[in-house]
Amino acid sequence: MVTVLLLAGGKSSRMGADKATMRGGVSRLKDVASRCGVERIITLCGGEERRHLFDGEVWSDPPFCNSLPEVLEWAITNIEGDIQLICCDAFDLQQDGFQFLLSSGGGVPLDERGIRQPLLANCPNGWRKSQSDGSVSSIFQHLPSLDAALMASQMKNYNSPDD
């Protein structure tokens, strides 16, 4: 079984609005995941004060985690089976791109510029995270890069209104 982790806990300060609610946000991504046959979707909401923003299975950050890499490491160790990360600002991700990630067998997709997108990593059952240096990318450094070919434009996230 695959578990999708929807990452929706950021402050979106550079974007100027909550990315978890923009362009259909978490609700749209949950719908896409469901259409791909995903049965378990966990929304990582950030602080407890954000929990009410989301439906379904929602996890708030534990008090001992102070950064996204720490939250990811905690969540990954608490889930069995395959894990698919999806960031809430994957605004261009559609069903075919989602299905590509789910069927990849594990890896980090490349965007249309050839840049690895670790917040869309597919972590297969049995995979062990790399030793973190405090960055998200270091956790997934031993997963192969995935060439999404024509779907590479779907494999990106947005950080500012100019993106």
> What is this structure's pTM?
0.90
What amino acid occupies position 132? S
Token readout for 29 is 């991504």
Paired tokens of 86: 């999806």
In this predicted structure, the answer to whether residue 163 has a pLDDT above a threshold of 50 is: no
Residues 111-143 as b/e (b if ≥16 CB within 10 A, e otherwise) read beeeebbbbbbbbeeebebeebeeebbebbeeb
Q: What is the per-residue pLDDT across 95-150, written as a single tens digit (0 to 9) for each?
A: 999 999 999 999 999 999 999 999 999 999 988 887 888 899 999 999 999 999 98
Give residue 130's pLDDT.
79
Average pLDDT over residues 66-85: 95
Q: Is 119 helix (H, G, I), strand (E, B) or coil?
A: helix
2-154 under CATH 3.90.550.10, yes or no: yes
Confidence of residue 21 (pLDDT cuts 50, 70, 90): low
Lowest-confidence region among 51-55, 69-73, 126-130: 126-130
**Amino acid, single-letter form, for residue 98:** F
Name the residue ranges covered by the structural domains of the chain: 2-154
Longest C-alpha distance within the chain, in Å? 41
Mean pLDDT computed over 31-49: 94
Q: Answer yes or no: are the C-beta atoms of 33 and 98 closer than 8 Å.
A: yes
Map tokens 């965007």 to a residue: 111
Cβ proximity of 63 and 25 under 8 Å: no
Could you give the CA distance from residue 29 to residue 84 in angstroms, rounded to a whole number? 12
Give the number of C-alpha atoms closer than 13 A to the C-alpha of residue 150, restricted to the C-beta side: 1
Q: Give the whole-angstrom CA distance, residue 107 versus residue 59.
A: 24
Segment 20-47 mean pLDDT:
88
**CA 49 – CA 26 distance, rounded (Å):** 17
